[in-house]
Amino acid sequence: MSNETNYEQHQPLTKEEFQARMKEMGKSQFIREEMLRLGFWTEETLTPEEQAERSQDLSELQIVQKELDELRSEARKLGDIKEQLKIARQKRIEESKRKRDEKKAQMEQASAEAQKQWTKYKKIHIPHVGNRYSIGLEHTGMDKEKLEAWRLPVLQTAKELACAMEIELNRLQWLTYHRDTATLCHYHRFSIPKKSGGTREISAPKPELRQAQQWVKEHILDLLPIHPTAYGFVKGKSTVDNARVHIQKRIVVKMDLQDFFPTITFWRVRGLFEWMGYSRQISTLLALLTTEPPHQQVKYDGKYYYIAIGERQLPQGACTSPAITNLITWGMDQQLHAWTEKMGYAYSRYADDLTFSSETLSSSQQVGVLLKRVRSTVKLHGFQVNEEKTRILRHTRRQRVTGIVVNEKPNLTRRRLRQFRALLHDVELHGLEAANRQNHPNLWAYINGYISYMAMVRPDLSHKYNEQASRISQKYGLSYVGIPV
């Protein structure tokens, strides 16, 4: 009897035999064998080819079954997928929160440190001075060697500048802060008449700003050299010294720079201080101290406002403005002096007045060349000639330079001498009040000043007027120092 017949006649398997046979044969093969034994499935006789194909299918099926079993095994290890996903998601949330809290703590620490540094920075620097002018305030690099070579104060921070000026840092910031619309102004503004007609706008700084500007002038501007051809607002030089350069010349050419002070803007002044060796920060503060925009005063809702109507520029009335002009025009003076000397001309500049003179009588063509070159040089240096004030004075007519006649020697015009002589005579006879027909605000001070001026121009005449002024002072009880005899 065959094994198959024995198997068919075998009694039902016990549970232990069942599990052993399944483990030995594999689940699929065991189920097939059981179905055959129990008569649920009959197996037809197969050809060798079919048997081989079937064996191959069974082999592949076993491989697939094995893979499924492995996957089920892995699945059993994982347990509930949803629960695992929930746990994984919770872990991610906790990790994300941890990282967020850690980053927040780092940011708070960085913010606290930045605030600490910012507070420390503001104790020695001015971080903001208004729109457009605050760019570059963080730059504190300076050329120390250049500053020491010029013997200028070595200043790196706003605090050092304030200490040097003997003011608080917040007052320095107040003086330098720019507003296009403000309720206060650091200048008193008024107009004075020009000799040529019209009025000249004067901006006189208020006491606190004037003190700061005086420090800048004495400790920085006055220590730098200016060109020898500059005579205006220079210690030890006067209009008389400027006029003496052009005495007894065959031809005198006078030219004037248009809008001289307004042409020198904040940006040029800041560049000047940077050229000295100061940092962008210090240069900005110094330029803000020494410039001011033109303002228009308006009234709104019962309150007055100052509205800036132009770029910051040198104010006429500040003690620093003349010194800055002399420094900024150094290159122009040097160039004009160099080539006019080659042409046989002497050159001098008194503020915005340019004067050229020659001992030889130049032709119209030569004068034209001179004028053309002056215009181009002046334009190259950021200025413009006021053509209405250009004068060509030959020796056959009266030649005046900065108000002084220079044909033969420094002299005053006969008309001014006659007017002054008549004024003194009137004062001596009738007193100051009666003689002040032009309503001069301080006639006696004017008389004193004019006699001192005359002593520089015509010392041979000044003694006579000095004696007359002494008699007037004794007669009417006026204070008069007089001039040295």
Counts of helices then strands in the chain (DSSP H, E): 20, 11
Average pLDDT, the chain: 89
**387 and 426 belong to one structural domain:** no
Q: Encode pLDDT of 196-230 as tens digits.
A: 666 778 899 999 999 999 999 999 999 999 999 99
3: pLDDT strictly greater than 60: no
**379 and 428 belong to one structural domain:** no
d(CA 137, CA 455): 50
44: pLDDT strictly greater than 80: no
Angle at 228 between CA 222 and CA 312, to 5 degrees: 50
**169 and 203 belong to one structural domain:** yes
Given a contact cutoff of 8 angstroms between Cβ atoms, the answer to whether 205 and 318 are in contact is yes
Helical segments of 157-293, H only: 158-165, 169-176, 207-219, 239-244, 260-263, 266-276, 280-290
User: Which of 81-95, 161-175, 328-342 is least confident?
Assistant: 81-95
The SS3 of residue 193 is strand
Q: How many residues does the chain have?
A: 485
**306 and 375 belong to one structural domain:** no
pLDDT of residue 7: 47
**405 and 417 belong to one structural domain:** no
**399 and 418 belong to one structural domain:** no
- Whether 448 is covered by a domain: the verdict is yes
**303 and 431 belong to one structural domain:** no
In angstroms, the Cα distances linking 75 to 61, 72, 82 are 21, 5, 12
- Whether 405 is covered by a domain: the verdict is yes
pLDDT of residue 11: 61
**Domain residues for 462?**
412-476
- Whether 48 is covered by a domain: the verdict is no
**345 and 250 belong to one structural domain:** yes
- Whether 91 is covered by a domain: the verdict is no
CATH number of the domain where residue 396 is located: 3.30.70.270
**184 and 289 belong to one structural domain:** yes
pLDDT of residue 222: 96
Helix (H) or strand (E) holding 342: helix 330-342
- Whether 120 is covered by a domain: the verdict is no
d(CA 33, CA 460): 152
d(CA 196, CA 19): 129
**377 and 245 belong to one structural domain:** yes
Helical segments of 399-458, H only: 414-430, 432-435, 443-457
**392 and 421 belong to one structural domain:** no
Among 167, 158, 166, CA closest to 140: 158
- How many domains are there within the chain? 4
**257 and 187 belong to one structural domain:** no
pLDDT of residue 78: 64
d(CA 117, CA 104): 19
Q: Encode pLDDT of 334-392 as tens digits.
A: 999 999 999 999 999 999 999 999 999 888 889 999 999 999 999 999 999 999 999 99
